[in-house]
Amino acid sequence: MNGMTDMSVIDAPAAGASTTPAAASETPLLELRGVSKRFVKSLDAAARIANLFGAHAKEEVVHAVDHVDLAIRAGEVVGLVGESGCGKSTLGRMAVGLHTLTEGTRLWKGVDLEQLPAEKKREKQLAIQMIFQDPYASLNPRLRVLDIVGEAPVVHGIVPASGQKAYVEEMLTRVGMDPTVLRRFPHQFSGGQRARIGIARALAVRPEFLVCDESVAALDVSIQAQVLNLFMRLREELNLTYLFISHDLGVVKHISDRVVIMYLGRVVESAPTEQVFAAPNHPYTQALLAEAPKLEVGKKTYVAIQGEIPSPLHPPSGCHFHPRCPYAMPRCREEAPALKEIAPLRMSACHLNDQR
């Protein structure tokens, strides 16, 4: 963790000041129920050869995401936070359908898209788009902006080929770019402009839900703020819903209505943003907040979370956080705490809540 970025220049509505929250009973826009993702790490050539000579190397299983429930209501901005390797990108990819689920169900407006005929699924799937971390790597360097942004809407029949140019110009204007750059290639733009092209490409298929995976992490802080402002403006203009993934609490603080904290493949806390920052419940969330540098006093005071992040190849028993937790009890080593409601809209997975 490199701590909290000062995002005070963002003029988006403050967390919690969002548009009317949907009623609790309303069907979520996107829901993941009990989803897990395990990756099997195949043996490399050296291990296979060693096995021929009597070694016993086995394939290893990475528990990237472990029985996660996540429901996102229409209009919500949910920030997904946790240290590198905790499974944020994997969960984001599962949410948009880029990863199959090892276990669990994904529902879009209450419907399991996997159960739909292929054509119907493709059509619905367009409403769910991902904006990637590195805008340069995710833009084909050999394509011009016209094709990067304009290809998918023509392929999917959203605009006729004859209307492609005007449509791409409209998308570029929407993301605050000069619409005359249609013939240029990605390398001719700055990082901030490439990020905007990536956003225009996603918007071109008229999504309702965007998963933004570290979408501003590669940008300078001042540019980060501009792009986050753009995300918030688009939310208002297009009624978008976001899952905003970041390792940086400072980024999600100013734009999220709710924050979900992950640790080693599991959700450990979920709460309205202002409550997470004012009174974090889970010891891991408390440690993350304590680790963030205090920028306002002009000097950085880091209190690193004790211990290393354990490997998802061999996650600790019971509560995954127990080897690093200052409050760990014998029970924590044996029993995984369930994610429970501890107050209205607040969920946490810690045995300490049973004692309160």
Ligand X SMILES: Nc1ncnc2c1ncn2[C@@H]1O[C@H](COP(=O)(O)OP(=O)(O)O)[C@@H](O)[C@H]1O
Question: Site residues (CB under 6 A) for ligand X?
Answer: 39, 62, 64, 82, 84-90, 312
Closest alpha carbon to 148 in 168, 166, 163:
168
Question: Taking the complex as a whole, how short is the minimal distance between the CB of residue 176 and ligand X, in angstroms?
Answer: 28
Structure tokens at 35: 């989803």
Q: Count residues contacting Mg ion (CB under 5 A)?
A: 1
96 binds, among Mg ion, ligand SF4, ligand X, none (CB under 5 to 8 A by kind): none
Question: Taking the complex as a whole, how short is the minimal distance between the CB of residue 85 and ligand X, in angstroms?
Answer: 4
Question: Taking the complex as a whole, how short is the minimal distance between the CB of residue 326 and ligand SF4, in angstroms?
Answer: 8
185 binds, among ligand SF4, ligand X, Mg ion, none (CB under 5 to 8 A by kind): none
228 versus 332: smaller Cβ distance to ligand SF4? 332
Question: Taking the complex as a whole, how short is the minimal distance between the CB of residue 98 and ligand X, in angstroms?
Answer: 11
Query: What is the residue type of 170?
Result: E
Question: Taking the complex as a whole, how short is the minimal distance between the CB of residue 348 and ligand SF4, in angstroms?
Answer: 9
Cα separation, 292 vs 249, in Å, equals: 8
Q: How far is CA 327 from CA 319, 324, 350, in A?
A: 12, 9, 10
Q: Please tell me whether residue 264 binds ligand SF4 under the rule CB under 6 A.
A: no
186 versus 283: smaller Cβ distance to ligand SF4? 283
Query: What is the residue type of 106?
Result: R
- Site for ligand SF4, residues 303 to 342, rule: CB under 6 A: 319, 321-322, 325, 327-329, 332, 337
Contact 52, 90 (CB under 8 A): no
Q: Helix or strand or coil: residue 244?
A: strand
Q: Please tell me whether residue 350 binds ligand SF4 under the rule CB under 6 A.
A: yes
Structure tokens at 236: 């208002």
Contact 149, 197 (CB under 8 A): yes
Q: Helix or strand or coil: residue 170?
A: helix
Structure tokens at 307: 């211990």
**Residue from 5, 18, 36, 89 binding Mg ion (CB under 5 A):** 89
Cα separation, 344 vs 346, in Å, equals: 5
Q: Tell me the helices (H) and strands (E) count for the chain, helix number first.
A: 12, 12
Question: Taking the complex as a whole, how short is the minimal distance between the CB of residue 279 and ligand SF4, in angstroms?
Answer: 16
Q: Please tell me whether residue 272 binds ligand SF4 under the rule CB under 6 A.
A: no
Residue numbers at the binding site for ligand SF4 (CB under 6 A): 282-283, 319, 321-322, 325, 327-329, 332, 337, 350-352
Residue numbers at the binding site for Mg ion (CB under 5 A): 89
